[in-house]
Chain A
Amino acid sequence: MFVRLLVLVLLAPALRAQYANDAWPVFTDVANARKAVHPPARQLDLRDRDLFRLPPRTAELRSLKYLNLMGNLWEVWDDELSRLRQLTHLNLKENKLRELPASLGRLRRLRFLDLTHNRLRTLPESTGHLRRLTYLHAGLNELDRLPAGLARCRRLESLDLQNNQLSHLPQGLHRLRRLRQLNLGYNQLREATADWGKLAALTELNLASNRIRTLPPNIGALGRLRSLLLTGNELTELPPQIGQLRELTLLVVANNELTSLPVELRKLTKLRTLILTGNPLPADEIERVRAALPHCRVL
């Protein structure tokens, strides 16, 4: 029995790195959660409760690992939250948060943090203390700058910053060597300069709906990239190095200013979908690409 419990405790959280753990009950009110003793409450769902702050005595749930506060009315952080040091999952999606305090950094066990659809202008420097953070979702905010400390979240695998006001890529982005998914769509990026070659794990890159005019040549160094979304930018050309993205299966460059395409596209032998709509491309240029990519659907 002990061995089974040990296995459960050790493995179960790992299996659900981003989600609630099915092996444990999800409590929906603090009173009942506090009654749980063996084992103590580990998961609490307080979604859509019109809360401005944590209900009284929530912070006494010291074993809490999963806390869902989505769809409440939080405008400011509740310091009681910083006392929940065991938290691995914190969902603050769809609140009205304008800023986060430095004490966020005390939640050092956090692996999953969802801040989507708030009113945040930036994230605290202490975000960098969240060394175990694997998933950071902060889309649909008003972020116009990011802390340098973000680059210290070396375990980040998924970074979703879509629909913000960012005009620069995150500083030190290249340090996030485990990053697999990066979504910077619907921002104000004018350029996409980064040390892309260091992001060896990146498989999905979304830069759609920005104001990017050129892609740096080193974008070709993303050796594992499988999907690249560039819809709705101001690209007039693609660098020849794009042909080095040998794993690329999806490339979307719709609604740009492209008048020609590099011949190196033919090297993308794994490309299956290429969307070119909304560009001033001559018909014969598109036909040339079609002929060069016989296994790819070119639209």
Chain B
Amino acid sequence: MPASHRFQQIHPEGTRYTTGGGVVPTNHDYTAYLPIAGSSERGYLSINHETTPGGVSNLGLHYDSTAHLWVVDSSRAVDFSGDNLVTTMRNCSGGITPWGTVITTEETHITGDINRDGYNDVGWLVEIDPVSARVMEYGNGKPEKLWAVGRVSHENALILSDEVTLFTGEDGGSSALFKFVADQARDLSSGRLYTLRLDAPLDNYEPTSTTGRWIEVPNATPEDRNNTRSLAVALGATNFSGIEDVDVNPLTGQIHFASKGAGRIYQFTDGADGITHFRTFVGGASYDLQTATGPVTEPWGIGNDNLVFDDRGNLWVLQDGGNNYIWVVSADHTQRAPRVKIFGSTPQGAEPTGLTFTPDYRFGFFSIQHPSDNNTPQRDATGERITFDVSSSVVFSRRNLLGAQPPVVDFVADVRTVPRGEPVTFTDRSRNGVQHRTWTFEGGIPETSVDSIVVVHYARAGSYRVRLRASNAEGEETLVRDNYVEVVQSTAVGERGILVGLDVFPNPTDGQLSVRLERADHRELTLDVFDLNGRHLITLERGRQDAADGILTYDLAPLAAVHRVVLLKLTLDGAVAHRLVHLVR
């Protein structure tokens, strides 16, 4: 992966599910991020396991914007058992529906009808509700597979935003491309099925015509549906040598699909005139790449597999079969003027599978399938040393969104206006972890410090600059605030009038807080506590009459459940003063 990006390992094989028991199986494949309420920071992650028997993991997860890491809150296995579904097998790629469900695909064509329902048990698309982690029902009082879309070695499913059109391809067997048009929006249990036939055959994998048409494939009975592969062949479907993923360019609406055997990604327009503009979009050639060590020419090779477009129309291509690259093909790429890059490659022995993005395209999820057990450790975004020796998924993003970050510097003083000689307490409130810091208090005593909380005195009246430089392993940042502290000579009026002789301590405190008033000529005291948003938290004193010289002590422990800064407001005979108090657990 380029230095501009980081990854975080998620949900490795062998992890215990948090719900329902069992451990995460191997061969992670398609990863579908399904947002909750459109969020790009909280959602479900559906992960296929291309195993026999197969499986799908359902995760609840969120992005911790403080730690800049994704957190898995829950995980469970989708239940395919029982007589209705019997089982699932080799869950390969899939698709996300516009209505928020996920489709897992069974990349197998094994024969057998255990439950005698007339349908072979595997070789179907299966729609899953990510909220319940259950297979969908379609009005028959039981979970069902998507029989009407037909039975082949399904590799994937693309569902268009019209909520009725679905594309899927067969990896092996007929190697045909299929299109399904549902009778009703959001209901894939019935509809018409078609397969693509080009008007002229491929010649050594290259199209010899730009047009084709959809041939309807009967899918009325269980026998039709069980035999989709055979029907497609009988009806003259074009064989594309192992179709992998299908995706739609969000900018042009053109359909793109990968042929693994041909090592090509084809594109076409599916419009009112049928299939037009059919051509090879990328592949079947070598491309000149600019790398950090100079230009290289890299053959595209075979094995282009999972596809996904980003919001700018770039096509991300995940490849298996040796290269195991993640390619990015620019939106303006043509075979005559190639615009192709390699984004990354996977650890030894592993193929990258199943990329999907969050709705804002800041994060991407994919899987590292079947890595070798001799890979060397590397650090992921958590800072931990991890070794890809089992299958897992990863989330990746730009560096500034994932993992440790340089400090974002911030500080506060408990008082900004202070009589000459009185203490000012400065607190470092920088985020992202500070390993080293340097304060510079212009005109103050001390003039520099490296502590997180510093008490400073100013000997002369004036306005003073404060500077804080903070650093960690990721970098450093400096914050300078001019005229931040005003040191005054007189305390005759207003707040200044009660500042002299007022002491609030200890500060920081884990709960017990004392207020000392040295002046005896005030009699009526009110003490209130606010948070930094101005919300009133508690009244400690209201119109206390016997306030005199002495120390008053309060328990703020209930407010100190978390680290926070609160504002203590003192009203003394109508004069007001404030102090920032740092509460620590």
Q: Mark B219-236, 1 if CB is under 8 A from A, else 0.
A: 011011011001101111
Query: A208, B52: Cβ atoms under 8 Å?
Result: no
* 8 interchain residue pairs of minimum CB distance: A254-B234, A250-B223, A22-B81, A227-B223, A20-B53, A273-B218, A19-B87, A231-B234
Query: B51, A47: Cβ atoms under 8 Å?
Result: yes
A185–B111 Cα distance when bound, in Å, is: 13
Count of chain A residues near B, Cβ 8 A: 46
Query: B83, A15: Cβ atoms under 8 Å?
Result: yes
Query: B53, A19: Cβ atoms under 8 Å?
Result: yes
**Interfacial residues of chain B within 76-128, with CB under 8 A of chain A in the complex:** 80-81, 83, 86-87, 89, 110-114, 121
Chain A residues near B89 (CB-CB < 8 A): 19
Query: B234, A252: Cβ atoms under 8 Å?
Result: yes
Chain A residues near B221 (CB-CB < 8 A): 249-250, 272-273
A208–B235 Cα distance when bound, in Å, is: 13
A265–B2 Cα distance when bound, in Å, is: 66
* B403 interface residue (CB < 8 Å to A): no
Given A16-B87, A19-B53, A252-B230, A158 and B218 contact (CB-CB distance below 8 Å):
no
> What is the CB-to-nearest-CB distance from B73 to chain A, in angstroms, rounded to a whole number?
25
Interface residues in chain B, defined as those with a beta carbon under 8 Å from any beta carbon in chain A: 13, 22-23, 25-27, 51-53, 80-81, 83, 86-87, 89, 110-114, 121, 218, 220-221, 223-224, 226-227, 230-231, 233-236, 370
Query: B53, A26: Cβ atoms under 8 Å?
Result: yes
Chain B residues near A206 (CB-CB < 8 A): 230
> What is the CB-to-nearest-CB distance from B220 to chain A, in angstroms, rounded to a whole number?
6
Query: A25, B112: Cβ atoms under 8 Å?
Result: no
Chain A residues near B226 (CB-CB < 8 A): 204, 227
A229–B235 Cα distance when bound, in Å, is: 13
A275–B110 Cα distance when bound, in Å, is: 24
Main secondary structure of the interface of B (DSSP, over half): loop
Query: A20, B87: Cβ atoms under 8 Å?
Result: yes
Query: B111, A70: Cβ atoms under 8 Å?
Result: no
A123–B80 Cα distance when bound, in Å, is: 34
Query: A16, B114: Cβ atoms under 8 Å?
Result: yes
Chain B residues near A70 (CB-CB < 8 A): 52
Q: Mark A189-212, 1 if CB is under 8 A from B, else 0.
A: 000000000000000101010000
Contact partner, B86, options A19, A26, A272, Cβ 8 Å: A19
Q: Which residue of B lies closest to A297 (CB)?
A: B218
* A17 interface residue (CB < 8 Å to B): yes
Query: B51, A227: Cβ atoms under 8 Å?
Result: no
Chain B residues near A250 (CB-CB < 8 A): 218, 221, 223-224, 227
Q: List 8 A-B contacts (CB under 8 A).
A: A25-B22, A135-B111, A204-B223, A204-B226, A206-B230, A227-B226, A231-B230, A299-B235
A254–B235 Cα distance when bound, in Å, is: 8
Query: B227, A158: Cβ atoms under 8 Å?
Result: no
Contact partner, B25, options A17, A19, A26, A229, Cβ 8 Å: A26
Given A18-B114, A19-B86, A254-B235, A68 and B52 contact (CB-CB distance below 8 Å):
yes
Contact partner, B220, options A16, A137, A272, Cβ 8 Å: A272
Q: Supply 5 further A-B pairs (C-beta < 8 A) apart from A19-B87, A160-B111.
A: A16-B86, A20-B52, A20-B87, A91-B52, A249-B223
A223–B348 Cα distance when bound, in Å, is: 55
Given A48-B370, A204-B226, A227-B226, A181 and B52 contact (CB-CB distance below 8 Å):
no
Query: A181, B230: Cβ atoms under 8 Å?
Result: no
> What is the CB-to-nearest-CB distance from A20 to chain B, in angstroms, rounded to a whole number?
4
* A180 interface residue (CB < 8 Å to B): yes
A254–B234 Cα distance when bound, in Å, is: 6
Chain A residues near B227 (CB-CB < 8 A): 227, 229, 250, 252
Chain B residues near A114 (CB-CB < 8 A): 110
Chain B residues near A204 (CB-CB < 8 A): 111, 223, 226
A255–B231 Cα distance when bound, in Å, is: 12
* A125 interface residue (CB < 8 Å to B): no
* A171 interface residue (CB < 8 Å to B): no
> What is the CB-to-nearest-CB distance from A253 to chain B, in angstroms, rounded to a whole number?
9
Contact partner, A135, options B51, B81, B87, B112, Cβ 8 Å: B112
* A266 interface residue (CB < 8 Å to B): no
* A277 interface residue (CB < 8 Å to B): yes
A231–B114 Cα distance when bound, in Å, is: 27
A68–B90 Cα distance when bound, in Å, is: 13
Query: A18, B223: Cβ atoms under 8 Å?
Result: no
A292–B3 Cα distance when bound, in Å, is: 70
A48–B89 Cα distance when bound, in Å, is: 15
A229–B110 Cα distance when bound, in Å, is: 17
Given A22-B81, A273-B221, A183 and B111 contact (CB-CB distance below 8 Å):
yes
> What is the CB-to-nearest-CB distance from B149 to chain A, in angstroms, rounded to a whole number?
17
Most central of B22, B223, B231, B235 by chain A CB within 10 Å: B223
A65–B370 Cα distance when bound, in Å, is: 25
Contact partner, B114, options A19, A26, A252, A273, Cβ 8 Å: A19
> What is the CB-to-nearest-CB distance from B322 to chain A, in angstroms, rounded to a whole number?
14
**Interfacial residues of chain A within 141-196, with CB under 8 A of chain B in the complex:** 157-158, 160, 180-181, 183, 185
Q: Mark A4-29, 1 if CB is under 8 A from B, else 0.
A: 00000000000111111010011010
> What is the CB-to-nearest-CB distance from A209 to chain B, in angstroms, rounded to a whole number?
8
Query: A18, B121: Cβ atoms under 8 Å?
Result: yes
